[in-house]
Amino acid sequence: MRIAIDAMGGDNAPGLIVKGVLEAAHEWPDTELVLVGDTAVIEQLMGGNKPANISLCHADEVIGPDEEPVKAVRRKKGASMVVAGQLVREKRADAMLSAGNTGALMTTGLLVVGRLDGIERPALAPMLPTMDDVGMLALDLGANMDAKPEHLLQYAIMGSIYRSKVHGMDKPRIGLLNVGTEARKGNELTKAAYDLLEQAPIHFIGNVEARDVLSRSCDVLICDGFAGNIMLKAMEGTAGTLFGFIKDAFGESLLTKLAAAIMLPKLRKLKNKMDYKEYGSAPLLGLNGLVMKCHGSSDEVAVKSAIRQARIAIQGKLTESIAAEISGK
Amino acid sequence: MRIAIDAMGGDNAPGLIVKGVLEAAHEWPDTELVLVGDTAVIEQLMGGNKPANISLCHADEVIGPDEEPVKAVRRKKGASMVVAGQLVREKRADAMLSAGNTGALMTTGLLVVGRLDGIERPALAPMLPTMDDVGMLALDLGANMDAKPEHLLQYAIMGSIYRSKVHGMDKPRIGLLNVGTEARKGNELTKAAYDLLEQAPIHFIGNVEARDVLSRSCDVLICDGFAGNIMLKAMEGTAGTLFGFIKDAFGESLLTKLAAAIMLPKLRKLKNKMDYKEYGSAPLLGLNGLVMKCHGSSDEVAVKSAIRQARIAIQGKLTESIAAEISGK
C-alpha cells in the first residue's frame, strides 16, 4: 500500500511531519510513504537518511492556513496538498494525509480526489472527546451548513463503516443529535432523518442530546454542520472558561496554591480528556480514496498515528466498503 | 397595576408561591396581586393574613408538569394557568406569572392570551449564564424548532426592547448565534437573518460564537430554537460533567480532601454562576400582555423577584413598545 503525505501543511511542517514519516517508515516497512513537497527542503531534513520505503514527490507551492479554500485549490495546482490529492485520484496512492488548511483539504477532496458515486456530500468526521477516553465520531461538525435528511443518512452509513473497520467496533451505536431523546422531537430535518435512519443498515439508537456527548451516549453522532459546530464550540467554550476560572482561583492565596499543587495532576488529566487533539486525525468520508485531516498542530507522534489509522483503513478496504453500501441503495 | 399569579404551578406550589406573593404584597402596596388557584387551599395557607392588595380567583384544575401542553390547555379551561391567562386576555390583569409546565404556558400564551398583531412566533427568552453574573438574554432556546429569518428579526427587536425596558440597558448589543464571526458565515437561515438584522432598529453587532457566551460577547443572543437548545444543553452537559469529575477527584484521598476544603467555596461560586436558575424568570415575548415563566423549582424569593420584573415591565410599557415597533414595520 502507498500513502501520500503533504509535507508542507500544518504548524510544524515540514520538520515534524518528515520526522513522523521517517519513524512510520521504520515501523511499517511494508508501507510505501510518499512525501509531497519541496524535495530540496525534505532531503535536507532527512540528512541522507532515506529508508527504501520513502519516496519524494516534488511540489513547489504551499497553501497557507488563511487562504480562501476554493480559490487556493483552483489556482495552486502545484501545491503540496493538491499534488497529494492527485496521487490518490490517479490511484498512485491509496490515501493522503495533511495537517494543512482544513477548508482547502475538503476542497481538494471534492475537486481533486472526487466523490464516490452516489455520495452527495463528503463529510469530515473528527472525534469528540468523551470522559472514558474512547471518543465519539461526529459528522458533520461544520463542513456542510445546510444538510438534507439524505445527507445525514449517508453520514450515518459512512460513520458506522469507519467505526467498525478502523476502530474495530462491533455494531457501533449511531445517534442523531437532537433537542430531546423522544422519537418525534426536533426540527423538520431531524424528524425526516430519524425516519431514514430507522430503515438504514446500521445500529441506530435514536436521538441523543448534546449534554450526553461526554458520557459517550453513542459511538457515531449524526448532525448537520451548523448544529454540530455550535455544539462543539459550546463545549469548548464552557470547558475553557471553567478551566480559566479554576486556574485563577488556584492562584489567589498561599492556601489555594497548596490546593493547586495537590489537584493539578488530576486537572491536567481532565484537560487532556477534553482536548480533541488527543483523539487522532479525522477522515474525510465519501471520497474516491482516503483523505485524512491531521490537526494543524500535529507533531511527529500525531503524524505517525495518522499513518497507523490510514493503514488500518486501507487494509480494511474502507473506501470500497462505503462504495458498496452506498451504491447498493 | 394588576398581576395574576398561577398559585398551583411549580415544584413548590402552592406553599412557596403564596409565601412569595404575600411578601411582594407587603413590599409593593400599589400593586394588586391576584392569586389564581384553589381558593380554599390558598386561604388556608394565608391563615387569615390577607393584605388588601391580594385578591383570589378560583380555579379548580391544575396542569401537571408532564401533561401534553396543547391537549391540556384545550381541555382544562378551569386550570389555574389558563384562568390566569384569561385574566390577561380580558385586560383584568396586566401580567401573569407561572412556575408550571413550560410548554403549557407557551400554549396558554398563544391560545389564551393571544399574539400581538404582526408577531408570527412569540418566543420564550430566558437568561443564559455569564461569568460576570449579568447574564445574556437568549431567544429562542427551543420553543420554535423551524424558524424563518423574519422570526429571528422579530426576536431581535423584542429582545432589544426587553433588555432596555426591563434591565435598563442602554443600546443592548444584539448578536446572531453562528459558526464564525465573519459576516458571510453560517447556513441559509443565519445568512438571510444577518441581512435583516443589519437593517433593523437595534444595535446589531454581528455574528457571535457559542464559545463566547460565557464571556457575554453580546447582551441578546438570537438563534433558532433548535441550535439554541443544542448550545444550551452542550454548555450544561459540559459544566455538569466537569464538576462531577472534579468532585470525584476531590474525594480520592486525605490530601485531595484538604484541597477540597480550600477550594469548595470558590467552586460553589462558579457553580452558581453557571446555574441559569440564578438569573431570574423568563418572559414570553410577542403576546398581547405580559407572561412570565418562573423556573419550576421557584421558591418565595424567585416568585417575589419575578413580580419585581413584571412590575418594571408594566411600568416601562413593554408590551405597548413591542407592539408599536412591530406594527411600525
What is the DSSP-derived secondary structure letter of residue A71? H
| Residue B211: closest C-alpha in chain A | A237
Question: Is pLDDT at A276 greater than 90 in this prediction?
Answer: no
Contact present, A1 and A311 (Cβ < 8 Å) = yes
Q: Give the fold, CATH level 3, of B127-278.
A: Isopropylmalate Dehydrogenase (3.40.718)
Q: pLDDT tens, B17-30? A: 999 999 999 999 99
B181 touches chain A (CB under 8 A): no
Determine phi and psi for A273, rounding to 5 degrees.
-55, -40
Pairwise CA distance, residues B137 & A127, whole Å: 32
Looking at the complex, does the CB of residue B134 fall below 8 Å from at least one CB of chain A?
no
pLDDT in tens, A37-91: 999 999 999 998 899 999 999 999 999 999 999 999 999 999 999 999 999 999 9
CB atoms within 10 A of CB A180: 14
pLDDT at A327: 78
Instruction: Say if CB A246 and CB A216 are below 8 A apart.
Output: no
**With bands split at pLDDT 50, 70 and 90, how would you rate the model's confidence at A274?**
confident
Any CB–CB contact under 8 A between B211 and chain A?
Answer: yes
Cβ–Cβ below 8 Å for A234 and B229: no
CB within 8 Å of A204: residues ≥ 6 apart: A156, A174, A175, A176, A197, A198
A237 and B213: CB-CB below 8 Å?
yes
A329 pLDDT more than 60? no
Is A152:A224 a contact under the CB 8 Å cutoff? yes
Task: Kindly write down the DSSP assignment for every residue of A168-235, as one continuous string.
Answer: --SSPEEEEE-SSSSTT-S-HHHHHHHHHHHHSSSEEEEEE-GGGTTTTS-SEEE--HHHHHHHHHHH
Low-confidence ranges of chain B (pLDDT < 50): none
Cα separation of B124 and B286, whole Å?
9
- Average pLDDT of the segment spanning A163-176: 96
By the CB < 8 Å criterion, does B246 face chain A?
A: yes
- What is each CA distance from B20 to A148, A253, B24, B120, in whole angstroms? 49, 40, 6, 34
Question: What mean pLDDT, rounded, does chain A reach?
Answer: 94
Residues B197 and B152 sit within 8 Å (Cβ to Cβ) = yes
Task: Write down the pLDDT at residue A279.
Answer: 79
Of B215, B234, B256, the CB nearest to A210: B234
Q: Is the pLDDT of residue A277 over 80?
A: no
A1-119+279-317 CATH pick, 3.30.360.10, 3.30.450.20, 3.40.718.10, 3.30.70.2190: 3.40.718.10
Within chain B, what is the greatest distance between any pair of CA atoms? 66
Q: What is the pLDDT of residues B181-196, one digit of tens each?
A: 988 889 999 999 999 9
Interface test with B, best of A148, A241, A255, A258 (most B CBs within 10 A): A241
Minimal-distance CA residue of chain B relative to A227: B227
**B254: closest chain A residue by CA:** A262
Summarize pLDDT for A124-157 with one digit per residue, the tens: 999 999 999 999 999 999 888 999 999 999 999 9
**Looking at residue A115, what DSSP letter applies?**
B
Indicate the pTM of the whole model: 0.91
Cβ atoms A122, A109 nearer than 8 A: yes
Residue A318 has pLDDT above 80, yes or no: yes
- Report residue A197's pLDDT band, with 50, 70 and 90 as the boundaries: very high
Q: In this predicted structure, what is the pLDDT of residue B328?
A: 67
Is B270's CB within 8 Å of A252's CB?
no
Q: Which residues in chain B touch residue A214, judged by CB atoms under 8 angstroms apart?
A: 237-238, 241
Of A142, A187, A252, the CB nearest to B226: A187
**B46 to chain A, minimum CA–CA distance in Å?**
40
What is each CA distance from B157 to A133, B203, B272, B313, B327, in whole angstroms?
A: 44, 10, 30, 16, 12
CA distance B145 to B224: 7
pLDDT at B277: 73
* CATH 3.40.718.10 boundaries in chain B: 1-119+279-317, 127-278
Is the ipTM value over 0.85, yes or no? yes
Q: Is B146 on the interface with A (CB under 8 A)?
A: yes
Residue with cell 449524526: A222
Residues 249-278 of A with CB under 8 A from B: 249-250, 252, 255-256, 258-260, 262-263, 266-267, 270, 274
